[in-house]
Structure 1
Amino acid sequence: MMQSDFYRPPVGWTGRIDGTDEELLRWHQRITPVNLLNGSLPVLKPHQQGLVFLGFSSDEGVRRNKGRVGAAEGPAALRKAAANFPVHFDSDLLLIDAGDIVCKDGQLETAQQSLSDTVLTIRKAGYLPVLLGGGHEITYGHAQGIYQHLRMRKRGEKLGLLNIDAHFDLRMTGAEGPTSGTGFWQLAQDCKLEGTPFCYLAVGVQANSNTQQLFRIAGDLDVQYVDADAFHLQDKVLLQAAISQFLRDVDHVYLTIDLDVFSAAFAPGVSATAYNGIRPDGLFLECYRAVLQSGKLAGIDIAELNPSLDVDNRTAKLGAALLFEMISNLHYH
């Protein structure tokens, strides 16, 4: 059950107003705030689609991982960067802002549980969770909520975990507990206990960002990965084959995009910048759209935006542009 102390209700989105005719609308004019403590999500009509923006205001996992804190302010920056986007989507699409889950007093584990419970609520109502980070500790709570929903459905559906990231995030938990780098390790352990397949594809992995131990753990867990060189060298065949096979093998997809996968020229506002990260170019968009258009998306999040380290809002604008692409290509379960 969602902890009220870890929930911050939504505030209205604001931005430029050119008019109220459909062709003049901007995102902030189509967002409906819903306080989940006081009410439930609107009931979707048959065949209607809806998505729920939910922030995860936490960088406790980054702090524990000895990174640069500040990502707790990421959700607000992403909303601000997206608010003035023009509306280019169906008038029947419902866009809800459900506020933020906050990490209070360093209690990351409780915040992650609250996030998981809220994602479950969103999925049960038929909406797509669109989560705004926050550190990459967002992964554990988000994916757990989706797994829980699938277990309740009792259909034996397989969830695929797709991480676009320079890092595997397969660190084993230590004395400090979970961090921004342990999410997929935690999920692997949970899958083992539940007897659930652990189906994980990491794309954009950098050798200079992962120890030999992490590559070994990835091998032990049968993790599939494509390193960043495939993007650098424009290896379209390898990328498309890996993503296509992954999509064929699963029933649903949890997609997380860690903004530190991108070159520091495009994403300076992250804890761990990458001078040789990938570019948000045509090849990346082809891969991204393949997932969005697969009809298997069960949840998506944008992680690791740190506004205090951003330059000219470049990283926030990149994260917001990824959200724009998501809505423009929206097909989900």
Structure 2
Amino acid sequence: MSTTNFYKSPEAWTGRVDGTDEETLRWHQHIIPVNVLAGEKFPVLHPGQKGFVFLGFASDEGVRRNKGRTGAATGPAALRNACSNFPVHFDIKQLVLIDAGDVVCYEQALEPAHELLCGVVLAIKKAGYLPILLGGGHEITYGHAQALYAHLHINKSVEKLGLLNIDAHFDLRIPGEEGSTSGTGFWQLAEYCKELERPFHYLALGIQTNSNTQQLFRIAGELDAQYVDADAFHLQDRTLLQAAISQFIKEADQIYLTIDLDVFAAAFAPGVSATAYNGIRPDGLFLECYRTLLQSGKLAGLDIAELNPEFDIDNRTAKLGAALLFEVVN
């Protein structure tokens, strides 16, 4: 099956137009589309410039295999739509925004989609851009982080990649007969790290005890995975959260950050595969933790996972995911 079946070229972003001078610009007026499979190149970044590439992963096959509610395949489009009208609050000469289209999971063929996702993310890294991936189910993790490890390997870097998952779930399930799912990503990465002889440096924030079996806690312990449960956010335990995050940042040279929107309370994130009535709130404490990670200077890649527009209410979940992306760009 051709890789073109697994790729959708970028479409023009549209939205409100208040003018064309920098003070009135919105994101949709600054986005540059690049068709990766057509051989189009990313613009060369000049000294001092930074570049972000938005790449969608239109897949919910991992969610289906994990017996969740499907619909996340339309998440990338919803996130783009929610971001489109954001005002430009950055120097357009210093920041380049690219849309590289979508990797699409075609006919439940998740493994070839993962392979292409890894390849496109690797191309983004080689061009000097920061990949910002739009999910899609949390099966996005494996292809995205695998590319970050591959980039380190190609550059013969001994830098340590830290994996940080803001999620109610560990995603350390062992793949079954159907293969990888939205819940197996970090187990797969642990196995991949063994192959590469690299450390598996994993921190999960927002873990819910009632959403993870004893087996998953056992596997986390065997892999020396670190975690902070959701109670730390509920009880406003800044000391515990900041200590865990600070130690993680200190021990990592680069950071892969993934945010599963089902970590948030259902009132804020109804549009996910598995809602959490007692999820965390996207409040000041969460924002403080999130900004600490973004401002670490170590971010190697970020994705937003599990947006399911089919179950969203007033685009709440899409707008929450978009707000998190706004923080990254700004």
- The TM-score range, normalised by the shorter chain, is over 0.9
Q: Give CA deviations for 1:13-55 in whole Å, capped at 9, x if unaligned.
A: 0000000010000010010111112211111112210000000
Instruction: Measure, in 2, the Cα distance between the counterparts of 1:274 and 1:179.
Output: 20
2:76 alignment partner in structure 1 = 75
Alignment of 1:245-256 (within 5 A): 245-256=247-258
Q: Give CA deviations for 1:214-256 in whole Å, capped at 9, x if unaligned.
A: 0000000000000000000000000000000000001000000
Letter in 1 for 2:4: S
Q: CA RMSD in A?
A: 0.8
The SS at the match of 1:37 is helix
Q: Give CA deviations for 1:272-305 in whole Å, capped at 9, x if unaligned.
A: 0000000000000010000100000000000000
Letter in 2 for 1:67: G
Alignment of 1:104-119 (within 5 A): 104-119=106-121
Q: Give CA deviations for 1:139-191 in whole Å, capped at 9, x if unaligned.
A: 00000010000111112011000000000000001111000000000000111
2:244 alignment partner in structure 1 = 242
Instruction: Measure, in 1, the Cα distance between the counterparts of 2:18 and 2:147.
Output: 38
- 1:203 alignment partner, one of 202, 205, 216: 205
1:22 alignment partner in structure 2 = 22
2:302 alignment partner in structure 1 = 300
> 1:4 Cα deviation (Å)?
2.1
For structure 1, list consecutive stretches of 5 or more residues without a partner in the other structure: 329-333
Alignment of 1:282-301 (within 5 A): 282-301=284-303
- The answer on 1:60 being equivalent to 2:61 is yes
Letter in 2 for 1:54: L
For structure 2, list consecutive stretches of 5 or more residues without a partner in the other structure: none
Instruction: Measure, in 1, the Cα distance between the counterparts of 2:194 and 2:157.
Output: 19
1:331 alignment partner in structure 2 = none
Letter in 2 for 1:117: G
> 1:193 Cα deviation (Å)?
1.6
The SS at the match of 1:283 is helix
The SS at the match of 1:200 is strand
- The answer on 1:227 being equivalent to 2:238 is no
- The answer on 1:133 being equivalent to 2:145 is no
The SS at the match of 1:98 is strand
- The answer on 1:264 being equivalent to 2:266 is yes
Letter in 1 for 2:164: L
> 1:327 Cα deviation (Å)?
1.0
Q: Identity of paired residues, percent?
A: 73
Letter in 1 for 2:222: D
Instruction: Measure, in 1, the Cα distance between the counterparts of 2:143 and 2:72.
Output: 16
1:316 alignment partner in structure 2 = 318
2:216 alignment partner in structure 1 = 214
The SS at the match of 1:88 is coil
Letter in 1 for 2:208: Q
Letter in 2 for 1:290: T
Q: Which aligned runs of 4 or more in structure 1 are off by greater than 4 angstroms?
A: none
- The answer on 1:121 being equivalent to 2:130 is no
Question: What is the number of residues matched between the two proteins?
Answer: 327
> 1:58 Cα deviation (Å)?
0.1
TM-score normalised to structure 1 length: 0.97
Instruction: Measure, in 1, the Cα distance between the counterparts of 2:296 and 2:241.
Output: 15
Letter in 2 for 1:142: H
1:45 alignment partner in structure 2 = 46
Instruction: Measure, in 1, the Cα distance between the counterparts of 2:3 and 2:259.
Output: 26
Instruction: Measure, in 2, the Cα distance between the counterparts of 1:297 and 1:21.
Output: 31
Instruction: Measure, in 1, the Cα distance between the counterparts of 2:37 and 2:174.
Output: 35
